[in-house]
Amino acid sequence: MKSRMLTPLGRQRLLWAAVCGLLAVVAVLLFVAWRGSLAVPPEEPLLVRRAVLDALGWPVPAVLALELALAFGLGASVGLAVPPMEGSGTAVAARTAVHLLCSSALFAGVCWVCGLPPANWQGLFLLLGLYWLMYLVIWLLRYLRWRAELDAIRRALGLARPAAGGVWQARPLRPYLLLAGALELLLPPLLRLLDPPDVPAWTGLFYPFLLLPFFCLAVGWSAGHRFGVTLLLPVACGVLTLPGVFLIYNHTALFQAGAAFVFALAGNLLGALVRSLRHSRKR
C-alpha cells in the first residue's frame, strides 16, 4: 500500500485530495460565515453556527475543529475518488459502495455543522438525495472518460477508427446527449412527484438553481475534455429544457433554457481549454 502511494499517480491523487480538502474547508467557512451574517442579530462567533454550539455544548475551538475536519474529509474523499473502471467488476462495486457510504456520512456531517439539520428523515433524504444524484452523474461522466482513454489506446494501435471532429459533431456525443436528455426530460417530472403541495422546493428551487446548472456544467466539461469544443451539446442542453418548461412550469421558466446553454457552454470551453493545454505540454 505504501509503495502504491509513493508512485507518481499515488502522489498526484494525494495532492489532489489535499487540494480538494482545503477548497472544501474554505467553502464551508465562507458558507457558515454567510449564514451567520444573515441572522438577526448576526451570530457570534461567525465561523461556527450557534445552533451547533448549543446542541453539542462544546467550546468554540472544538466545534470549529470538528467543522474543519468534516469539511476537509469530504473534500479529500472527493479528491480520492478513483476511476470507476480501475480493477475488476467486484472491486469496482465494493470500492464505489464504500466510498459512497463514507462520503455520504461526511456530507451529512458537513450539512449539520453548516446549520442545515433536517427536521425529519424526509429532510435528511432530501439532502442525501441531492448528493447521490450528483455522485451518479460524476460517476457516469468518469466512466465516459475512461471509455475515451480506452478508445484512444485502440486508435493508437490501429484497432479503431479515428474520432470524428468538428464543433457540431453528433455521433461521438451520443452518450452525453442521452445523459442530458434523461436528466432534463425525466428528472423534472420525477421531482414534481416529490414536491410537497404547499412549497414546490424540488422543481422550484433545487432543480433550476442547483441541479440543472451543475449537470450542464459537468456534462459540458466532460465532453470538452474528451472532444474539445462541441457547440452541439450546449445547444442540445438548452433545447432539451423546453418540454419540461411548458409541461411543468410556464413561460416564466424559459430562463432555464438559457442557463442550461450557458453552463454547458462554459463547462465545454473550460474542458476544451484543459484538453488543449494538456496536449500542448505533451508535444
Cα–Cα distance, 261 to 270 (Å, whole number): 14
* Per-residue confidence (pLDDT) for residue 121, from 0 to 100: 64
Cα–Cα distance, 34 to 169 (Å, whole number): 43
Residue 126 lies in a domain: no
Whether residues 174 and 108 fall in one domain: no
HEC states along 117-180? CCCCHHHHHHHHHHHHHHHHHHHHHHHHHHHHHHHHHHHHCCCCCCCCCCCCCCHHHHHHHHHH
Domains contained in the chain, number? 2
Whether residues 85 and 183 fall in one domain: no
Domain membership of residue 27 as a residue range: 1-117
Higher pLDDT, 119 or 235: 235
Grid coordinates belonging to 226: 474528451
Q: What is the pLDDT of residues 111-136, one digit of tens each?
A: 888 877 665 666 677 778 778 877 87
Which element (helix H / strand E) includes 223? helix 212-227
* pTM (whole model) above 0.75: no
Q: Which of 90, 117, 144 is the last residue of a domain?
A: 117
Cα–Cα distance, 21 to 161 (Å, whole number): 40
Q: Which of 77, 101, 117 is the last residue of a domain?
A: 117
Residue 232 lies in a domain: yes
Residue 123 lies in a domain: no
* Per-residue confidence (pLDDT) for residue 14, from 0 to 100: 82
Whether residues 179 and 273 fall in one domain: yes
Q: How many CB atoms lie within 10 A of CB 1?
A: 6
Cα–Cα distance, 254 to 250 (Å, whole number): 8
Q: Look up cell 465516459; give the residue.
A: 144
Percent pLDDT > 90 in the chain is: 17
Residue 158 lies in a domain: no
Residue 141 lies in a domain: no
Residue 249 lies in a domain: yes
Q: SS3 breakdown of the chain: % helix, strand, coil, rounded to 5?
A: 80, 0, 20
Q: Look up cell 470538528; give the residue.
A: 66
Give how far Cα 256 sits from Cα of 41, 78, 242, Å.
35, 28, 8
Most confidently predicted of 83-87, 189-193, 246-250: 246-250
Task: Pick the range with the lowest mean pLDDT from 79-93, 94-108, 235-249.
Answer: 79-93
Whether residues 110 and 33 fall in one domain: yes
Whether residues 102 and 204 fall in one domain: no
Whether residues 11 and 97 fall in one domain: yes
Grade residue 212 by pLDDT with cuts at 50, 70 and 90. very high
Q: How far is CA 142 from the centre of its chain?
A: 11
Task: Pick the range with the lowest mean pLDDT from 86-100, 234-248, 265-279.
Answer: 86-100
* Start-to-end CA span in the chain (Å): 33
Residue 159 lies in a domain: no
Whether residues 173 and 281 fall in one domain: yes
Residue 201 lies in a domain: yes
Q: Which of 53, 85, 117 is the last residue of a domain?
A: 117
Grade residue 86 by pLDDT with cuts at 50, 70 and 90. low
* Per-residue confidence (pLDDT) for residue 260, from 0 to 100: 94
Whether residues 171 and 278 fall in one domain: yes
CA R_g for the chain: 21
Most confidently predicted of 69-78, 140-149, 193-202, 257-266: 257-266
**For residue 196, is pLDDT > 70?**
yes
Nearest to 68 by CA among 17, 32, 118: 32
Q: Say if residue 208 is preceded by a cis peptide, omega within 30 of 0.
A: no
* Cβ pair 103, 67 in contact under 8 A: no
